[in-house]
């Protein structure tokens, strides 16, 4: 594998900074399997991962190995799109998932130790995977960001805002579980105005809204069961206004996907969704907080080739 031209993106800030402690060991493991990397980016600023990925791909890299969590994968995916001027690239993304949430990896069937994930990348079975773009405002104008796994408005965004610093160091499942339980007790509903695929405006009183590419998020929560990362669709979960007792009853079910059987939840699918709220709500994409405000989310079918398990993206 020494002839393979590949680029490494390592995010020491992943898992609330805990990834920095394993930096040298992980990089040695990668180079043992693949030989010396053509280039390496150790993330220090918000645009480092995207810019280095773009430059490496334009320079001929065949593979990018991204080491971090969902936020890292989001930025690397942005670099793939920038390198191809928004179109699909034939280069492949290999993921070493060491973040807090790691929902994108779980949605793709990627799990196990670093050594097991490296063995998966070495096998090199890549599949085309959808991405989503988020545009600020109601129209096509404005800055565009990329989402690899999910974006959330309302309760999910508030959970991400609360799961920071010391609590994040507990790890994905306990950190997001504690955060979700606390927010479930206090979240108030908001009036959402939604437009699916350019259709008529719909008004919904919701605790939250999830727009998903993958089924899993937040430390193993099967938040949007049935979501497939390569079907050219966005799966949308509407979390209706519920009593506190109803919220607490359904909260444990989000780990099995059975919460959607409750009348407090509804599933929809689309290729484009415009979202606006009557008042400001928390908003996040792939575990990264976004400024509040209306957004249009669009699917970008088969936008990136990701090395996955046999039963991963389809």
CATH number of the CATH domain containing 84: 3.40.50.10330
Residue tagged 């008042």 (tokens): 279
**Distance separating alpha carbons of residues 260 and 267, to the nearest angstrom:** 8
**Distance separating alpha carbons of residues 270 and 291, to the nearest angstrom:** 24
Q: Is the model more confident about 4 or about 231?
A: 231
What's the token pair of residue 141?
A: 């104008």
Domain hosting 23: range is: 6-129+303-307
Give Cβ neighbours of residue 186 (< 8 Å, ≥ 6 apart): none
**Cross-strand partners of 195:** 274
**Distance separating alpha carbons of residues 18 and 266, to the nearest angstrom:** 37
Do 258 and 233 fall within a single domain? yes
Do 174 and 110 fall within a single domain? no
Give the count of domains, the chain.
2
Q: What is the pLDDT of residue 163?
A: 73
Q: What is the pLDDT of residue 65?
A: 98
Q: What is the pLDDT of residue 46?
A: 87
Average pLDDT score over the chain: 89
Confidence of residue 268 (pLDDT cuts 50, 70, 90): very high
Do 29 and 94 fall within a single domain? yes
Do 77 and 50 fall within a single domain? yes
Lowest-confidence pick of 92-101, 155-164, 183-192, 265-274: 155-164
Residue tagged 């079907």 (tokens): 231
In 63-170, which ranges are continuous DSSP H helix? 70-83, 103-107, 114-123, 155-162
Asked whether residue 312 is domain-assigned, the answer is no
**Distance separating alpha carbons of residues 97 and 99, to the nearest angstrom:** 6
**Distance separating alpha carbons of residues 99 and 168, to the nearest angstrom:** 10
Task: Give the gyration radius of the chain's Cα atoms.
Answer: 19
């Amino acid at each position: 594998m020494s002839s393979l031209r590949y680029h490494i993106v390592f995010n020491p800030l992943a898992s609330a900074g805990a990834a920095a402690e394993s930096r040298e060991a992980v990089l040695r493991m990668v180079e043992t399997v693949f030989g010396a990397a053509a280039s390496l980016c150790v993330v220090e600023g918000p645009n480092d991962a995207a810019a280095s990925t773009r430059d490496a791909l334009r320079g001929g890299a065949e593979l990018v190995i991204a080491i971090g969590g969902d936020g890292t994968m989001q930025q690397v995916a942005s670099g793939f799109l920038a390198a191809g001027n928004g179109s699909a690239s034939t280069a492949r993304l290999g993921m070493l998932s060491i973040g807090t949430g790691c929902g994108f990896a779980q949605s793709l069937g990627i799990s196990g130790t670093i050594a097991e994930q490296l063995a998966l990348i070495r096998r090199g079975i890549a599949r085309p995977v959808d991405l989503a773009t988020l545009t600020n405002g109601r129209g096509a104008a404005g800055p565009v960001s990329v989402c690899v796994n999910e974006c959330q408005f309302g309760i999910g965004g508030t959970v991400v805002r609360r799961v920071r610093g010391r609590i994040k160091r507990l790890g994905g499942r306990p950190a997001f579980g504690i955060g979700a339980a606390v927010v479930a007790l206090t979240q108030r509903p908001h009036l959402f105005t939604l437009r699916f695929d350019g259709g008529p405006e719909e008004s919904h009183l919701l605790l939250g809204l999830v727009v998903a590419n993958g089924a899993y998020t937040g430390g193993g929560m099967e938040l949007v069961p049935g979501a497939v990362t390569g079907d050219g669709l966005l799966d949308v979960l509407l979390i209706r206004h519920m009593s506190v007792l109803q919220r607490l009853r359904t909260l444990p079910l989000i780990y099995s996907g059975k919460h959607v059987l409750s009348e407090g939840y509804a599933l929809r699918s689309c290729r484009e969704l415009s979202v606006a709220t009557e008042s400001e709500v928390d908003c996040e994409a792939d575990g990264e907080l976004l400024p509040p405000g209306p957004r249009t989310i669009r699917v970008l079918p088969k936008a990136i080739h990701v090395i996955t398990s046999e039963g991963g993206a389809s």
